[in-house]
Structure 1
Amino acid sequence: MATSTLGPTARILRLLDLLQSRPTWSGTELAERLGVTTRSVRRDVERLRGLGYPVRAEHGAGGGYQLGMGRRLPPLLLDDEEAVAVAVCLRLAAGGTVEGLGEAAVRTLAKLDQVLPARLRSQVEAIHRSTVTLDSLTPSVDATVLLTVARAVRDTERISFSYSAPRGRSERRAEPYRMVATGRRWYLLAYDLEREDWRTFRLDRMTVVRSGGWRFRPREAPDAAEYVRRAITRSGYEHVARVRIAAPRSDVEQVVPASVGILTAAGRQHTILEAGGHDLRWIALHLGALPWDFEVLEPPELVDVVRELGARLARATP
């Protein structure tokens, strides 16, 4: 066992972080992570309890230390009103109203929600239900769905949910692996138990998400970000366009987000863009807005649409 280089305060904070990272830890596992004896772990657990953190100890097979729901909010230097304000702000940020904070907000909210007393949680729910945001471009994600999925990913628990897709609504059972945020939209990479394959799900299309406590052994999974990126730029679209852009990939990726299309370098001065869409006219319009020349590779129908759009724009100029 390695000797701990952490002081008592730093060690307690590290212990708290470990307890929040997964449902159950054995005393031996915690001792190894902290570089101390199991007796020191027991003492540090008692210190956390004295500070108000509800750490439970289960004996026997499958037991260990667990961080449970608390009767009072642990000393985060927040009073009740401040805790409610933080939770509400995190929910808004998780929903995409604060650019760039979505993923961090969900992780933080999952930790705060774990110890937030029921009386404060109901206040947060009431405020969140009575708040709307002006965002007509991106469907909102219910904060409860975000939290339920985030906890299931963390705890490796199966989930069931209703899913609305263009082909209709269906009931799904899955093993959640990772959540991926792209722009202001959230996706879940999960193993679909009915289809026995990996699938991506948009969280704004998921409702009645349930986690019944059924744990699963993680499978060998694809790279979540890459899988979702390819799925959302190719799958489910009537048309997939391929164009050659007269600019290096390093320049193009500054303008074209990863959620829009797949970029592949074609030499030093050109880039291949693959992007899907339901309407060729919209694809042509977005391509025309790029600051570089481009050549349509496929589909052939897109060539005619681009020509038509070019002619219309030319007629609009006196």
Structure 2
Amino acid sequence: MGQARPPESTTERVLRLLALLQQRPVWTGPELAERLGVTTRSIRRDVGRLRALGYPVNAAQGVGGGYQLGAGKALPPLLLDDEEAIATAVSLRLAAGGTVAGASEAAVRTLAKLDQVLPARLRAEVRALHDAIATLEGTRIEVDADALLQLARASRDRLRVEFGYDARDGVASVRRAEPYALVATGRRWYLMAFDLDRDDWRTFRLDRLRDLRTSTFRYRPRDHPDPADYVQRSISRSPYAVDARVRFHAPAAVVRERVPAWVGAVTPDGPEDAPGCVLETGGSDLDGLAFHLGLIGLDFEVLAPPQLRDRVAAVGARLTAAARGRGGVAP
């Protein structure tokens, strides 16, 4: 004969009750009692215990009534069974590489918390499922979720990292850094870190990063720039052959709606009665930059460089000539 199963403690039963209440909107008392193997009187007592712990459990009498877990500030974290935990983790991994920056950052933060409490056996299933999912080219995942998690933990715990990095010009190097923040912009992920070998702050694109290793050395936090602002300014100017500063005669919020964050940094400029802003951006050549500034569709003036001012005038003259049917007349 097998050994008798030890009696379930009140705490275990209350947790099982909470898990059931999270699985569907409404349960009747008899249904819960049958599931838990207790009387309806025990269910009422356990519901009282949940309420005492801050869980908003609502009860309604009559046909269609029963117990329902309400929403509110007092609702503690969800209890997930294995299938729900796997589904949630896989979804978060996919969202982490998505096209919406805010959602991607939130997904990484949530995934880091969930990954901390997942058993090793579930982590393996999550990784296998994620690797088995194919996405279309237009929505492919560009950054390894494992690397995101590793860097998120290293930034949180103030641990130095080392990794291989392929620069924009194709030059490969090994970098030692103190990671401070992950920033998502458009479909790209960036790491803001203090580069120990170059003794300065740097921005690293995560899809160019490889062989990431986290050390056990904890670093002391340094005074640092705002990560979002630093990354935005780094990526909006450094990749271009021509850097430019342009003042728009429109509020910063209006310009930001038309200029993606990875294209340029927008700073409010001007009095309240005549709001304006300055855009810092760049381009591969003067003609292309002049053309794209015109496409923004707002009045502007070029602050720097002077050569861009001349090209804007030339492009404007060429377009005006074309509109009048005299193409080729302008310089």
Aligned pair partner of 2:120 in 118, 121, 131: 118
> In terms of mean alpha carbon deviation, does 109-118 or 281-290 score higher?
281-290
Q: Structure 1: how far apart are the matches of 2:129 and 2:283? A: 37
Deviation at 1:157, TM superposition (A): 0.7
Aligned pair partner of 1:156 in 134, 155, 158: 158
Aligned pair partner of 2:213 in 210, 213, 235: 210
Deviation at 1:162, TM superposition (A): 0.8
1:243 paired with 2:246, answer yes
Taking a change above 3 Å as real, the CA distance of residues 288 and 131 of structure 1, as seen in their structure-2 partners, is farther
Q: Secondary structure at 1:140's aligned position in 2?
A: coil
Taking a change above 3 Å as real, the CA distance of residues 137 and 108 of structure 1, as seen in their structure-2 partners, is closer
Q: Structure 2: how far apart are the matches of 1:279 and 1:132? A: 37
Q: Which amino acid aligns with 1:204?
A: D
1:221 paired with 2:224, answer yes
Taking a change above 3 Å as real, the CA distance of residues 300 and 152 of structure 1, as seen in their structure-2 partners, is same
Q: Secondary structure at 1:212's aligned position in 2?
A: strand
Following superposition, which runs of at least 4 residues in structure 1 exceed 4 angstroms of deviation?
Answer: 135-139, 307-310
CA RMSD between the two structures: 2.8
Aligned pair partner of 2:294 in 258, 263, 288: 288
Q: Secondary structure at 2:87's aligned position in 1?
A: helix
Deviation at 1:176, TM superposition (A): 0.7
Does the 8 Å CA contact 1:262/1:273 hold for their aligned counterparts?
A: yes
> In terms of mean alpha carbon deviation, does 192-201 or 90-99 score higher?
90-99
Name the counterpart of 1:266. Answer: 270
Q: Secondary structure at 2:279's aligned position in 1?
A: strand
Aligned pair partner of 1:299 in 298, 302, 305: 305
Question: Aligned residues: percent identity?
Answer: 58
**Aligned runs of 1:71-110 on 2, under 5 Å?**
76-98=78-100, 100-110=102-112
Q: Structure 1: how far apart are the matches of 2:100 and 2:266? A: 27
Aligned pair partner of 1:230 in 233, 236, 241: 233
Name the counterpart of 2:144. Answer: 142
Q: Secondary structure at 1:275's aligned position in 2?
A: strand
Q: Which amino acid aligns with 2:243?
A: V
Give the structure-1-normalised TM-score: 0.68
Aligned pair partner of 1:278 in 253, 278, 284: 284
Taking a change above 3 Å as real, the CA distance of residues 124 and 285 of structure 1, as seen in their structure-2 partners, is farther
Q: Which amino acid aligns with 1:174?
A: A
Q: Structure 1: how far apart are the matches of 2:86 and 2:297? A: 46
Deviations 1:180-218 (A, max 9, x none): 222332221111111111111111211111112222221
Name the counterpart of 2:35. Answer: none
| Count of residue pairs the alignment pairs up | 245
1:181 paired with 2:187, answer no
Deviation at 1:144, TM superposition (A): 1.1
Name the counterpart of 2:21. Answer: none
Unpaired segments ≥5 residues, structure 1: 1-8, 10-74
Taking a change above 3 Å as real, the CA distance of residues 153 and 283 of structure 1, as seen in their structure-2 partners, is same
Q: Structure 1: how far apart are the matches of 2:253 and 2:191? A: 28
Deviation at 1:88, TM superposition (A): 1.0
Deviation at 1:172, TM superposition (A): 0.5
Q: Secondary structure at 2:257's aligned position in 1?
A: coil
Q: Which amino acid aligns with 1:205?
A: R
Q: Structure 2: how far apart are the matches of 1:98 and 1:240? A: 27
Give the structure-2-normalised TM-score: 0.66
Deviation at 1:284, TM superposition (A): 2.8
Deviation at 1:97, TM superposition (A): 4.2
Deviations 1:101-136 (A, max 9, x none): 111111111111112222222222222223343455
Q: Secondary structure at 1:259's aligned position in 2?
A: coil
Q: Structure 1: how far apart are the matches of 2:144 and 2:127? A: 11
Q: Which amino acid aligns with 2:223?
A: E
Deviations 1:224-275 (A, max 9, x none): 2222222222324211112222223343233334433222313424322110
Q: Which amino acid aligns with 2:305?
A: P
Q: Secondary structure at 2:296's aligned position in 1?
A: coil
Deviations 1:45-74 (A, max 9, x none): xxxxxxxxxxxxxxxxxxxxxxxxxxxxxx
Q: Which amino acid aligns with 2:146?
A: T
> In terms of mean alpha carbon deviation, does 308-317 or 247-256 score higher?
308-317
